[in-house]
Structure formats: structure tokens, C-alpha cells
Structure 1
């Protein structure tokens, strides 16, 4: 699992940065990837990446500003033309369905897959056997959401040698033990699952925020995150401008990561004013407060390591 940045700029594309789009790859876990936001020309960025639109499972839209949604109609059509046939679900704020349906209808686009659109509100918006996705409203000029993706714990590893020491040969009972069920042998011996299965693998937490000023919901969503993706449109010297336009600074993002106890912070949504002098200033400011910070660039990727298992 890793985070792959397709676009990392703010407002308008520049020669160095396209507008916002972020992929969460889960090929080993789910055989798919998820997309967070879809700014203009996202499909072009996908062509320059290792991603395949046929593997796209979910799209999560943070808010309805153009630099986060103008790439949707083209990407949805291209997914169909490039062999994507599996269902696709799009989550986003109220209004996202009207935008997509109208765009597709007027352009007479035809899709070769089922498309489901879910307009979200705060709270739990998705759950399956592998993960949950929770949202909360942030502080922006229009409704802007953050997403907290939390993996569910995975069962620990079965100690095969220890199980065989009881005389139990491989078979369905191995699966019962691994899933927490005790097994009784014909002679009455009880093999307790807790004795032959290692500690569970804790799930990872990934948090992707939409555009926002500092607010309480940033900290709530980011609590204990393995990786936090936070906008940092401006350097700290432009804090007043950031507040006026409902954005965050590098220092504000770093303070949020520290207060939430996050493990890694990746900054994105970088203003075009930093194209010439680069992002060294932004990185330096953030690392003074939260050392494990990176500034994303287009086509940069950040792995999300497994959490350490807890001892029994």
C-alpha cells in the first residue's frame, strides 16, 4: 500500500505541478487503487504513472472546487475506453451527482461499467471486511471533507510447527484455529487458538484532507494516522492570506500532525508562487515542528509500512 501523487498544485496547473489528485494503491490488499479528487488532466497524469484505470475501484471527492473535479468526465470516459468494466463508486459532497450526470449526458458519453454515486455527509460512509472510511467537514469556503481510512486488524500467523506438534494434519481445522476457533481432537485434547496463533496485525490509518483552515476536525480525523496528507498552500509568512482564502500554511499542517500523533506528514496543494524558488522553505518550516515531513511532487510515492504487531 502506498500513496501516489498525480497532482500536487493549488488552484491552477503549473509546468511543475498539476492540480489535485491522489491515488491510494492497494494492489496486494484489494487488487485495486482508490483516487482522491480528480483535477483537470488527471487522466493525462495517469498515463505517465504505473496506474491502470481498469484497476480503479473508488473515487473520493473532498469538495467541488474545479481544481478537484474538472478531470472527472474525461477520466470516467477513458476508463471505459481503456477496458474498465468493473463497477466504480464515486463518493463526494452534495452536488457531485448532478455535476457528473449532467456532464456525461450533455457529452453523450457511454460507459461500459456500472457507476454508482454516493453523496456523503459526516460520519462513517463506507465499511467492508477490510476497512472503514470516515469523513468530517473541514473549514473551507464550501463544504470540504477529510477522509480517514482505517484498515481492520488481520488475524495473526498460525504457528504450523506448534499445531503439528499436537498431531493435527493440515486441513480445514487450520483455518478454524487461525480465525480464533478452538479445535478439539478426537481423544479430547483441546488446541486453543490463542496458543497457536500469533498477535493480530494492526490496521493502518491513512488520512487525506481536502482544502481547509486549521480546525478541530483535522485533529480528530488525523488522530494516530500512519500517514497524513495535508494541504499547505502557503508558507507561514503568508498566514493571513491563507486564512483569508480558507487554506493552511506549512507550520499549521505540521502543528496538526504533531498534535494528532501522526507518524508521517506529506504536504500537498502547493501554491504556484513557489515554482521558481522551490519548496525548500516549505519543507524547512514544517520539519522544525514535525521532522517526519515531506513535500509531495507530481508522481512522487510514499509507502505505508505495516504497523508493528503487539506482543501477547
Structure 2
């Protein structure tokens, strides 16, 4: 599981930062990519990565400001030309369906796959055997959501090598032991499944927030998250301006990470005013409150390991 930042800028494209889009790469988990927001130029950013549009199975839109949705019609159209045949699900506030369908209708675009729209309300918006995704309403003037992706816990792996050493061949016995059952072998030896199944792995949690003022909903979504992605449009001295424009400062993002006991904070939605050292200063400001903070750059890839795989 990885996050790849396709755009980390706020408002308008800049030479060094495109507008917002984040890919959650689940290639090992389900051979798919989930996209969060799709600002103008997202498909051009994708061309500079090894992401294949046909692998994108879900797009989650946080809100309907242009810097988060203007790339959707182009990406949806190109996906069809690039071999995308699988259905695409688009989640977002009320209005996302009308926006996409109007763009496709007016441009007379025909797709080789079906679209499914889920116009979200707070709560669970998707769940299957691997993941549950919930959303909460944030504070941005316009309807804006944050998404919490929870991976279900993984069962421990069967220790096949040890069983082979005992002379047990792959077959139904392996399945029973995997389930933790006790098995009596033909020799009369009793084998406990619990002795041959490794430690279970706790599922990972990723929280990606839309544009927002500081709000308790952000803390709820980020509770114990392995990674929290939070906007940081203003520096720590600009709290009044952040409030007036329905955005957050570096310190406010860090306060959310600290209050929620998130393990890692990634700052994004960076104003084009901040270049080079100024951008690094934003990172340092957040680190004053939450040390494990990184400011994202376009094309950064953030690996999200299981907790028992964390490296020093």
C-alpha cells in the first residue's frame, strides 16, 4: 500500500506543484488504484508515473471546487481510449454526477465502460472483505468531505516450511490448520493449528482530508491513522486568514494529528506562494507540534507498511 502524490498545490497549477490529486496504490492488495480528487492536469501527471488509468477502480472527490475536479472529464475519457473496460466508481458530494455527465454529454464522449456514482453522506460509503471507507463532513464553506480508509485485519500466515519439515504435504490439512483447528495425523500425532500460524497483522488506516478549517470531524477521521494527509494552505501566523478562507494552518494540521494519535502527518494543498525554503519552513512549523511530519511534493511516494514492518 502506497500513496503517490500527483498534485500538491492549492487553487491553481504552478510550475512546481500541480493542483490536488492523490493515488492510493493497492496493487499488492487488490491490483487497483484509488484516486482522491482529480484536479486539472491529473492525467498529464499520471503519464509521468507507472500508474495505468485502467487500474483506477474508484475516485473519491472531497469537494466540488475546480482545483479538485476539473481533471475528471479528461481522465475518464482517456481511460476509455487506454484500454479501460472495467466499471469506474466515483464518490463525492451531491453534484458530482451532474458535473461529469454534463461534460461527457456536451463533448459527445462515449465510454467503453460503465460509470457508477455514489453521492456521499457522512458514514460508511464503501465496504467489502478487504476495506471499509467512511467519510465525514468538514468545514469549508462548500460541502467538503474527508475520507478514512480502513484495511481489515489480516490473518496470520500458515508456516508452510515447518509443516513440510514434519512431512505434512499441502492439502486439506493445511486449510484446517490455517483456520486454527487441531488435526490428528495418520500417525496419531496431534497438530494444533495455532502452533503453525503466524501473528495476525492489524490492518492499516489512511485518512485523506479535503479542504477544511480545523474541526473535530478531522480528528474523528484520523483516529489512530497510520497516515493522515491534511491540507496546509497557510503558515502558523495566518490563523485568522485560514479561518476566513475556510482552510488550515501548519499548526492546526499538526494539532489534528496529535489529537488523533496519528502515526504520520503529510502536508499538502500548498500555496504557490511557498517556494523552496519557505515550503520547508511549513514542514518545520508542523514539526514543532507533531514531529513525524513531511510536506508532500508532486510525485512523492509514501509507503504505508504494517506496524510490525516499520523500519527504524
TM-score normalized with structure 2 length = 0.94
Give the paired residue count.
309
Name whichever of 186-195 and 240-249 sits farther off. Answer: 186-195
Q: Does 1:46 align with 2:46?
A: yes
Give the superposition deviation at 1:272. 1.6
Residue 275 of structure 1 deviates from its aligned partner by 3.2
1:1-312 → structure 2 map (5 Å cutoff) = 1-164=1-164, 168-186=168-186, 190-275=190-275, 278-308=278-308
Cα distance in 1 between the residues matched to 2:183 and 2:83: 47
Question: How much does 1:299 deviate?
Answer: 1.0
Q: 2:20 & 2:207 partners in 1: Cα distance?
A: 15
| Ranges in structure 2 where 5+ consecutive residues have no aligned partner | none
Q: Deviations over 1:115-147 (max 9, x none)?
A: 111111111111111111111111111111111
Measured after TM superposition, the shift of residue 170 of structure 1 is 1.5
Distance 1:60 1:42 in 2: 14
CA–CA distance in structure 1, aligned partners of residues 276 and 233 of structure 2: 15
Cα pair 1:61 1:91 within 8 Å, conserved: yes
| Structure 2 Cα separation of the partners of residues 275 and 195 of structure 1 | 56
Give per-residue Cα distances to partners, 1:242-289, cap 9 Å, x unaligned.
000110000100111111111111000011211375302201101111
Larger displacement relative to structure 2 (37-46 or 181-190): 181-190
Q: Distance in 2 between matches of 1:123 and 1:166?
A: 49
How far apart are 1:182 and its partner, in Å? 3.9
In 2 relative to 1, CA 172–70 (structure 1 residues): closer, same or farther, beyond 3 Å? same
Give RMSD over aligned pairs: 1.7
**Cα distance between partner residues in 2 of 1:212 and 1:288:** 21
Q: Mean Cα displacement is larger for which, 128-137 or 173-182?
A: 173-182
Measure the CA separation in 1 of the matches of 2:179 and 2:24. 28
Q: Post-superposition shift, 1:293?
A: 0.7
Per the normalisation by structure 1, the TM-score is 0.94
DSSP 3-state at the match of 2:307: coil
Per-residue CA deviations over 1:214-240 (Å, capped at 9, x if unaligned) read 111111110111111000000011110
Q: Closer, same or farther in 2 for the Cα pair 1:158/1:18, shift >3 Å?
A: same
* Aligned-residue offset at 1:196: 1.7
Check whether the contact 1:155–1:179 (CA below 8 A) recurs between aligned residues.
no
1:188 deviates by 6.3
